[in-house]
Structure 1
Amino acid sequence: MKILVISNYRTTVTARPEAEIFIGLQEKGHEVTIMTYGDADYNKKFKEKGLKVIPFHPTKKRDKESIAFIREELIRGKYDILQMFNSLAYFNGIPAAKGLPVKVVLYRGYTGNIAWYDPFMYLKYFNSRVDGVVCLVEAIRKLFVKNAPWAKQKFRTINKGHDIGWYKIDKEFDLSPFGVKKDDVSFICAANDRKMKGVVHLLKATHYLDENTPMHLFLAGNGMGKPEFQKLIDESPLKKNIHLLGFRDNILEIVKDCDVFVLASLYGEAITKAVIEAMSLGKAPLITDIPGNVNLVISGESGIVVPPANAKALAEGMKTYISNRELIRKYGKAAQDRIQTVYHTSKTVKEFEEFYNELLG
């Protein structure tokens, strides 16, 4: 089949799980054309793998020139599938496909703001010209079906797959300057501060631990030094072992040298990329069971999953890991294996191909 993709591939790390889908489809014999920004990091690899790259991406919503440009390419290339991944693409690509035989497919990567009464939904996901919507997680698909039951057949859950080979880290990050000793268990939470990230509950969890607990907690990301957090740190019996790292561009190096990755999110997220990256590095996860991460970690097999907004449950999860270092190794290996099997990029390629074939009949 012939596939035209419109998306943003400027940053390799964030774009990779998506970009590799279409490299995989090209390798399976389909003809893929990528329409993206001319300075996108992935353009070189796309071309090396035989994909055609058109250096263009809409910069305004419902722009007449952009609509005309996309429509001209759709007609010239006689595409079977038009796959788009962002609002700028949607608002120009959907009208560009009007009256053409191409199947229009959109993407949804987060769970919030899906409602039948939202008029913008009918310009995008509920639009009658849209033939399919790929949902990153099942929680998103269920929300769509609940709000648009008349179009339930168009929504399909397909996770963006990964490969643990993408996350090989050669550099070491030395934790000893922070006072971490050989037998201490190091936990890391990497997230920019937003209420939905649940950092308050994570810090409160340390209040349930004894001051002599052999552990350290690292908080990496923007906004972690806010007064509310600092107050909770100052009141914690482990205040000397809680470290604010701020934003780090070498975060994967730090995650690699910690023992456990913690996610205390409360709501609103789909599958969390930071957790996937940590699992790919073989880190044992301690996460909350928000809808978007259902089945990412199987509690008791590949990590520990606790209820959201529950500091005591987070503390118990920490104690479990601290008292059993072998469990850290076991769950870390199982988490890595889960990414390489259940969430591998090859599975995603297969599922995209199947969905496209269904749409084409």
Structure 2
Amino acid sequence: MKKIKLLAVTHHNRKNINPIRPEASQIIGLHHSGAVDVTVLCNPGSTLIPYFEQHGIKVITNALDKKVSLQTIKLIREYIKANDIDILHLFNNIACSNGATAAIGTKAKVIAYRGQTGNVSRWDPTVYLTMLHPRLDKIICVANAVTEDLQQHIWGNKDKAITVYKGHDQSWYQNAPADLSGLPLHDGSFKISLVANLRPRKGLHVLMDAVQLLPEDCNLDVLLVGADPESQAIQEMIKRSGKPQRVHALGYREDAPEVAATCDAVVLPTTKREGLCRAVLEANSYGVPAIVSDTGGNAELVADGITGIVVPPSEPQALADAIMTLYKDRALCSKFGVEAKKRVIEKFNVQQGVDKTLEIYRNLLAN
């Protein structure tokens, strides 16, 4: 059978490979399937280049730093034509705006990636360069909630949007838990973590309000990964908890999964626009359960009352109650962690993502 010729376009410059590993593993899995001839176009400084090359994948580079670049469009268009590309798979907005435009008038089927709910409107002209680009044949969404949200805005065939869960591999989560001995943690405390920033939708303020509602004698430590301890705004947010000695801003960490591994639970109190949260999948892969708000794909990640707890968004009391449920019942917390790890292995593994993506490729090319 003739191999599918794939050009995957992506852009990454983070030192920490964890956020981008699921995407790369899907591309590598397609390559190793024997059904796809893969070329990757990425930025010259991409962390992923050696990762791809060690698996025998051809890599070409371009800056990929402009939403619309005539030079990038020309490069992609010429590559599609010269190499008889069947599938153009675009993994972010810059890739989409340039790649989908480059594919106009070619035979290539064009697929985009969508990672979160919200921020799409038919009345926003810039969206017609990305998620509503008329040249897109398919949009692979990271969760059903993302698919359903996008389908409200797509013109015509709503089935253009389809769900494929990102895949995680347990071999990525074999490191020892992070060494937190330098932090002023309390002996025997119940530790929770949040990958935190000050964007309101991430819900740091909700967690701080929930901590304020907890009993004064609650032996708890809250770890805010990514929160700059030197930031006045972060310090004000910590004061809002009413228990500043219990809340610790850790700053940027490349070992966020290992920090989660030291905890009893992780919290994701997003108020809106969530996809399939990487931090939850990473914690679950270490056997650590999560408390999440019911936004975006969170409720698909966490089976409420089985692998963790799902609470209404923007309700500090509900979040505080959930924290206390696990705080008071450590056996239940541990049980949730065991079940969460099993759920990641069974439902969010790399192979399911590769298989579903390959099925999408074949269906597009059959039509």
Q: Report the CA distance between 1:335 and its aligned residue.
A: 0.9
Partner in structure 2 of residue 31 of structure 1: 37
Cα contact 2:177–2:259 (8 A) shared by 1: no
Partner in structure 1 of residue 160 of structure 2: 154
**C-alpha distance in 2, partners of 1:24/1:177?**
40
List runs of 5+ in structure 2 lacking aligned partners: none
Q: 1:306 to 1:101 in 2, by over 3 A?
A: same
Partner in structure 2 of residue 43 of structure 1: 49
Q: Is residue 293 from structure 1 mapped to residue 298 from structure 2 by the alignment?
A: yes
Residue type matched to 1:94 in 2?
A: A
Partner in structure 2 of residue 208 of structure 1: 213
Q: 1:186 to 1:61 in 2, by over 3 A?
A: closer
Cα contact 2:289–2:340 (8 A) shared by 1: yes
Cα contact 1:6–1:57 (8 A) shared by 2: no
Aligned length: 357
Q: Report the CA distance between 1:243 and its aligned residue.
A: 2.4
**C-alpha distance in 2, partners of 1:210/1:36?**
50
SS of structure 1 residue aligned to 2:301: coil
**C-alpha distance in 2, partners of 1:171/1:230?**
25
List runs of 5+ in structure 1 lacking aligned partners: none
Residues 179-235 of structure 1: CA deviation (Å, up to 9, x unaligned)? 4223x31111221121112222212212332221222222232357525414323xx
Residue type matched to 1:232 in 2?
A: R
**C-alpha distance in 2, partners of 1:179/1:104?**
50
Q: 1:205 to 1:43 in 2, by over 3 A?
A: same
**Residues 74-83 or 93-102, more deviating:** 93-102
Cα contact 2:168–2:348 (8 A) shared by 1: yes
TM-score, normalised by the number of residues in structure 2: 0.91
* 1:79 maps to which of 82, 85, 88: 85
Q: Report the CA distance between 1:140 and its aligned residue.
A: 2.1
Cα contact 2:299–2:310 (8 A) shared by 1: no
Partner in structure 1 of residue 237 of structure 2: 229
Residues 93-129 of structure 1: CA deviation (Å, up to 9, x unaligned)? 2232222111011111121211122222223332332
Q: CA RMSD in A?
A: 2.0
Cα contact 2:228–2:249 (8 A) shared by 1: no
1:305-316 paired onto structure 2 within 5 Å: 305-316=310-321
Residue type matched to 2:5 in 1?
A: K
1:155-234 paired onto structure 2 within 5 Å: 155-170=161-176, 172-175=178-181, 177-182=183-188, 184-222=189-227, 225-226=232-233, 228-233=236-241
Partner in structure 2 of residue 96 of structure 1: 102
Q: Report the CA distance between 1:277 and its aligned residue.
A: 1.2
**C-alpha distance in 2, partners of 1:263/1:273?**
11
Cα contact 1:287–1:306 (8 A) shared by 2: yes
Cα contact 2:117–2:150 (8 A) shared by 1: no
Residues 22-43 of structure 1: CA deviation (Å, up to 9, x unaligned)? 1001111111110112232222
Cα contact 2:177–2:261 (8 A) shared by 1: no
Residue type matched to 2:337 in 1?
A: G
Residue type matched to 1:173 in 2?
A: D
Q: Report the CA distance between 1:348 and its aligned residue.
A: 0.6
Q: Is residue 283 from structure 1 mapped to residue 291 from structure 2 by the alignment?
A: no
